[in-house]
Structure 1
């Protein structure tokens, strides 16, 4: 069998899939393209590459070497984008700290990642000061001041980011090394236990960028990304590398707008001033953007938004379409890169059927290239592709995380039978479209039937006067479980429990849902807000605890 292997000539170059390779084409062809931070600071791709070299020189001066971990605590900024490249290109590991976690969770992740240097925005300095005595490995801090004065700290401060950059050389020679080297780490929070570290190699990041870009750039029109687009992330750069999209934007040479902290009015203003055409966010942010645009009378036509993190409610999708936005779903999880499927409309779909169009845009979509995407039963057998048979989504792909950091048992559970288990229950149609029905832990067993909390949430959200809804299962002596709905009314709306039940019963009569899916009137609770996790998902664990 060895005879069939290709033996390279001694002088042949073996091309490693490293993060630095994502810059090659961009610098060669799009060197004059712009990167801007909040519309206030802007520079070219060539200057970006110089600043990447300067940051590497700064970190080398702090004795950051191959294998070291450098943590970043910042909002979406040019500094974060520079860190996305400089830190892994040195052979070090970029740790994107979830700044929305509690101080104790941040402490755990900094210690667990063995971070030695922290780049911290002044806004988060008090968090570091609070936990300083328990930090085990942090030895230097670089402050990101945004033009403000550097606060007094008891931790060892190496200096202020821009001041250190101004003194550093841009001529940093980035080495080559094994493409399987860890490039980035972040932590995902579950319903139990400590946060789990998820790590990606250079190879993972490059292949995810290639596979996702291939799908996004493939359609002739609609739900696509192209080189004339202007990109602005609205998914935090600390969360799954902003879905890997900043790497894709730089690879393709797109003008890139970094918005800082997400303030809906500022996002809408940047969309207008910088002519942003492509973004991605969770449904909650989309709703806030629509509301801000309505208040200020801003135009949104032509803005393409990829929605993920949680299900896109059809009513919200339709509201965005009515404003001229091109919204569609992306699916994945922290452990999958994250994007593994996209809800792009197929060629030849009937655009006159608005209801069908909305349904398709809100599905989980179809798999990306390089993704072995299966929906299986408890015996790991594929379910029938009839849009009815339910099973768990399991995956194989070259860019999925292979293990949680330092958690072998959880890693084996994640990869049981050689497939990554998502714990998402779904159906698949003959044309390969997938629709998630629910999370395994969120499916409600009532009256001998399985009820999808996601579907009930979607139907309630479609009731006039409802702004947001979350449904969980609560214990019931007679039925085992019953659905409990938490509902946020739109401002000034007078929708009541009976109106919601009446609307749901219409869906029962139409045989869309079972009668057991309809919450009792006393189990429809009107609240001012629904709790969210640190990345904007509905916190159903907390809701169950409140029942």
Structure 2
């Protein structure tokens, strides 16, 4: 027997309809190349999105065709998100920070028919266009007055592309499992892999991410997504903010510029933001240098890599900003866990609550986790036993786009994330390493993340990375690579002494190398791969 409830499909266009009716006057503010502070409302945004949908309908696209973007966070990109997916096409967001060969591979593998791009990327696409045989045309995200001269196929400005169109458009209805958007992994090893989201998975992720014990979003929030719209749909914020009616503030190409971020927070009264840890490290350095403030900001979501406890404490103690740490992947849409304090955790002594702040949090409903040992069986949730982290859920990928046989997708329905982790009795996840980054010394594992967190707790250290270096006796030993704060100084011996009593003696790195900067991936994460390549052949000093 089935229930007798209406069976309405979960579609992204439903978010647009709801936001326009319930939050029509809520603002969207953007920095763009042709307008330093563009400002309009959700009503304006979705009217223009329908104009764009009409324009797209004249291109001969079929349901499921891919329409790509090569763009920063701004209002036009927001309109494209809804117009493309809402029409039944697939919005394929491309990371412009990838290598040129990777961008070519991604566009060709996805078989993108049209490309929307920011003006700054016109020279890049012109350089690559001879290698993109299936690309039919390009729309440059600007107006005619700022349109660059270009030989790109069928190129025209975004504003002229939609100018003559009606803002009346009936969003089509289709199966909620229809593909909605496509995002490729950053491809640090091998070719990038495509993750194909559905309308159903996106809407469910939208619901869950806005919950009080997740991002806690509402119409009272002013949200600045610093996480790029070209990476995992800006962690779903363009959808969840529209659903709840939060004011949106898009920093455009200035996502990494601390001065711009501080100015936007202050001027627009931003209350919530999201980005990788390097963003907040840069903002803190700017605030300490200038004495400027971010009084409206109450909490930030940070993930992509483990957030150092020192960074969490700096933002909380000096700027009254709570860091909400999260874990996820492109394959998980990306929300997997978020650190929220349960009533049981809130009742713990401060020292134990502090320890939980260093963890990546608990699952939200819709995601299941387990940690498996080398025998494949689940290990105890004791906060000590670690193993391979596996995940399944309503918005977790079941395979990669146009690929088969990937052994990370296991026969029993679990996705092997490649992370090494523990789960404590209260359900809090702690990522201890990536499988490929773990340091195995004398047959025992050392957590590079814990070493890095301790290093950045030193007052002289801005950033740190721990990597494995081959050792003739112990197989591998940790090397600490550190970046000092401007004007600060510490010797290698002093920094290593800082570890004494905080970790097991055999965990303490064998040496420290100071560098001017650490290599980052295309998504702003620390690149251990590049760092290991940089230190190939390194020899520890003899004792």
Pairwise TM-score range, normalised by the shorter structure: over 0.9
The alpha carbon displacement at 1:147 in A equals 7.4
| Structure 2 counterparts to residues 209-358 of structure 1, below 5 A | 209-214=206-211, 217-218=212-213, 224-261=216-253, 262=255, 263-301=257-295, 302-322=297-317, 323-347=319-343, 349=345, 355-358=351-354
Q: Which residue, out of 99, 102, 109, partners 1:105?
A: 102
Hey, what's the Cα distance between the residues in 1 that align with 2:534 and 2:124?
28
The alpha carbon displacement at 1:165 in A equals 2.2
Question: SS of 2:194's equivalent?
Answer: strand
Hey, what's the Cα distance between the residues in 1 that align with 2:357 and 2:165?
48
| Structure 2 counterparts to residues 130-529 of structure 1, below 5 A | 130-145=127-142, 149-214=146-211, 217-218=212-213, 224-261=216-253, 262=255, 263-301=257-295, 302-322=297-317, 323-347=319-343, 349=345, 355-410=351-406, 412-507=407-502, 513-521=503-511, 524-529=512-517
Query: Contact 1:300–1:324 (CA<8 Å) still a contact in 2?
Result: no
1:377-432 per-residue CA deviation (whole Å, 9 max, x = no partner) reads 2333221121111122211111111211112022x433343201112111111111
RMSD: 1.9
Hey, what's the Cα distance between the residues in 2 that align with 1:127 and 1:336?
30
Hey, what's the Cα distance between the residues in 2 that align with 1:106 and 1:402?
24
Query: Contact 1:232–1:258 (CA<8 Å) still a contact in 2?
Result: yes
Question: SS of 2:465's equivalent?
Answer: strand
Question: SS of 2:427's equivalent?
Answer: coil
Hey, what's the Cα distance between the residues in 2 that align with 1:467 and 1:356?
25
The alpha carbon displacement at 1:293 in A equals 2.5
- Structure 2 segments unaligned to the other structure (5+ residues): 536-543
Hey, what's the Cα distance between the residues in 1 that align with 2:440 and 2:213?
41
The alpha carbon displacement at 1:179 in A equals 0.9
* Farther off after superposition, 18-27 or 101-110: 18-27
Hey, what's the Cα distance between the residues in 1 that align with 2:354 and 2:17?
39
Hey, what's the Cα distance between the residues in 1 that align with 2:350 and 2:524?
28
Change (3 A) 1:375 1:72: same
Hey, what's the Cα distance between the residues in 2 that align with 1:501 and 1:131?
48
The alpha carbon displacement at 1:242 in A equals 0.6
Give the alignment's TM-score, normalised by structure 2. Answer: 0.93
Q: How many residues align?
A: 527
Query: Contact 1:315–1:461 (CA<8 Å) still a contact in 2?
Result: yes
The aligned counterpart of 2:541 is none
Query: Contact 2:53–2:83 (CA<8 Å) still a contact in 1?
Result: yes
Question: SS of 1:118's equivalent?
Answer: strand
The aligned counterpart of 2:22 is 29
- Structure 1 segments unaligned to the other structure (5+ residues): 508-512
1:121 aligns with 2:118: yes
The aligned counterpart of 2:55 is 58
Hey, what's the Cα distance between the residues in 1 that align with 2:453 and 2:54?
51
The alpha carbon displacement at 1:299 in A equals 2.1
Hey, what's the Cα distance between the residues in 2 that align with 1:188 and 1:45?
30
The alpha carbon displacement at 1:352 in A equals 10
The alpha carbon displacement at 1:278 in A equals 0.8
Query: Contact 1:35–1:42 (CA<8 Å) still a contact in 2?
Result: yes
1:354-386 per-residue CA deviation (whole Å, 9 max, x = no partner) reads 554443222110010111221222333221121
| Structure 2 counterparts to residues 535-546 of structure 1, below 5 A | 535-546=523-534
Question: SS of 1:409's equivalent?
Answer: coil
